[in-house]
């Protein structure tokens, strides 16, 4: 019965989180919702947006709401992997003897903001792979586990491409969502200006802690998914592969390569969370469809034909959703 109460409180908790976040972040409702979903689902998020739309502020505010240790890494071309993970340093012990001691890097936090992640070299970016997937770091012969819950929220600027290093596909696949923060509307912009006239500091209060997030994640995993919906998610992901025989003409024409199996996993995992947030106790087609865009948009690469026809990734995903039949 305790679980039942938790289930019933699930959406209330999320609602409280949103309420607090709205104190620091104006607009961007979808982004906030999806970030919350990703955090509960235990995934990392790639935030893409022009400078000043509130990417960093969102993450910082989130750390306050979740009451989790937060660190920020500003990725630059000269950033070294050890600057992220930490490194062994020679120190004197209390007896004056020299010894090697591991000094933790900024990655050792529950909530990590990897700002402008595409500005770091691939070498440094690859240092994030193990962290993002396995939530642990290997330095030398030692492996260090990171405290749960652990999230990486990376940002990247889509405009400035000079001196950037596109993220490798393997690393892109580690992000459960890619969220695109749009420029706020006039009303929202006015609100932002008014709000920041009072204070630039985040004012959001703490709502939950890490343990609650882990409980919520466990709770969400028990949300039932009927076979038809699961099959729909699978077909949606496999439909992005142009090399498969049963793939639609849209995929064959507009997609260069498709999403990995992680996409299907992410779809169902996040759909469960979304269902609970919306007060439902089962996953629906609507949950899968709504999450298809953030889950798939960074996992598939459109072909030259799509670019030539000015079709975005989201356009192609929309076409695939329409073509994939529900049973």
- Contact residues for another protein (CB under 8 A)? 1, 3-4, 7-8, 219, 222-229, 280-287
We find the least distance from the C-beta atom of residue 238 to another protein, in angstroms, to be 21
- 3/196 with CB nearer another protein: 3
Residue at token pair 């169902």: 268
| C-beta neighbour count of 203 within 10 angstroms | 12
Q: Which helix (H) or strand (E) holds 242?
A: none
Best CA proximity match to 35, nearest among 283, 261, 285, 277: 277
CB contact at 8 A, 171 and 125: yes
Pair of tokens at residue 259: 């999403």
Residue at token pair 């994030």: 128
- 168/224 with CB nearer another protein: 224
We find the least distance from the C-beta atom of residue 263 to another protein, in angstroms, to be 21
- 178/217 with CB nearer another protein: 217
We find the least distance from the C-beta atom of residue 270 to another protein, in angstroms, to be 16
Q: How far are the Cα atoms of 59, 176, 204 from residue 69, in angstroms, in the given order?
A: 12, 21, 15
We find the least distance from the C-beta atom of residue 58 to another protein, in angstroms, to be 29
- 123/327 with CB nearer another protein: 327
How far is residue 159 CA from its own chain's centroid?
Answer: 20
CA 271 – CA 282 distance, rounded (Å): 9
In the chain, where do the E strands start and end? Answer: 44-49, 70-74, 86-92, 98-104, 111-115, 136-139, 142-145, 151-156, 175-181, 255-257, 301-302
- 225/321 with CB nearer another protein: 225
We find the least distance from the C-beta atom of residue 326 to another protein, in angstroms, to be 9
We find the least distance from the C-beta atom of residue 9 to another protein, in angstroms, to be 12
- 193/226 with CB nearer another protein: 226
CB contact at 8 A, 25 and 11: no
We find the least distance from the C-beta atom of residue 209 to another protein, in angstroms, to be 23
Helix, strand, coil percent values for the chain (each to nearest 5): 50, 15, 35
We find the least distance from the C-beta atom of residue 80 to another protein, in angstroms, to be 46
Q: Which helix (H) or strand (E) holds 109?
A: none
């Amino acid at each position: 019965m305790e679980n039942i109460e938790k289930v019933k409180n699930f959406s209330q908790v999320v609602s409280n989180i949103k309420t607090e976040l709205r104190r620091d972040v104006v607009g961007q409702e979808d982004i906030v919702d999806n970030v919350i979903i990703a955090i509960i689902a235990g995934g990392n998020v790639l935030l893409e947006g022009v400078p000043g739309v509130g990417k960093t502020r969102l993450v910082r505010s989130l750390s306050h709401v979740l009451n989790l240790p937060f660190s920020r890494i500003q990725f630059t071309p000269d950033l070294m992997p050890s600057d992220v993970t930490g490194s062994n340093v020679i120190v004197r012990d209390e007896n004056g003897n020299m010894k090697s001691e591991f000094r933790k890097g900024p990655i050792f936090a529950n909530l990590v903001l990897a700002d402008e992640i595409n500005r770091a070299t691939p070498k440094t970016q690859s240092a994030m792979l193990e962290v993002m997937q396995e939530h642990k770091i290997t330095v030398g012969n030692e492996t260090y586990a990171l405290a749960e819950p652990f999230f990486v929220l990376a940002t990247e600027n889509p405009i400035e491409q000079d001196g950037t290093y596109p993220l490798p596909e393997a690393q892109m696949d580690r992000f459960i969502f890619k969220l695109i923060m749009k420029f706020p509307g006039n009303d929202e912009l006015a609100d932002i200006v008014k709000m920041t006239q009072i204070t630039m500091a985040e004012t959001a209060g703490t709502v939950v802690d890490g343990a609650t997030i882990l409980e919520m994640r466990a709770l969400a995993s028990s949300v039932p998914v009927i076979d038809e919906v699961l099959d729909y998610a699978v077909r949606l992901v496999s439909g992005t592969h142009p090399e498969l025989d049963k793939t639609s003409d849209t995929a064959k024409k507009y997609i260069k390569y498709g999403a990995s199996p992680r996409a299907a996993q992410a779809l169902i995992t996040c759909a469960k969370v979304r269902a609970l947030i919306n007060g439902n106790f089962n996953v629906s087609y609507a949950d899968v469809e709504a999450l298809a865009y953030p889950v798939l948009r960074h996992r598939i690469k459109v072909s030259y034909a799509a670019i030539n026809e000015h079709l975005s990734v989201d356009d192609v995903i929309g076409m695939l959703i329409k073509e994939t039949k529900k049973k």
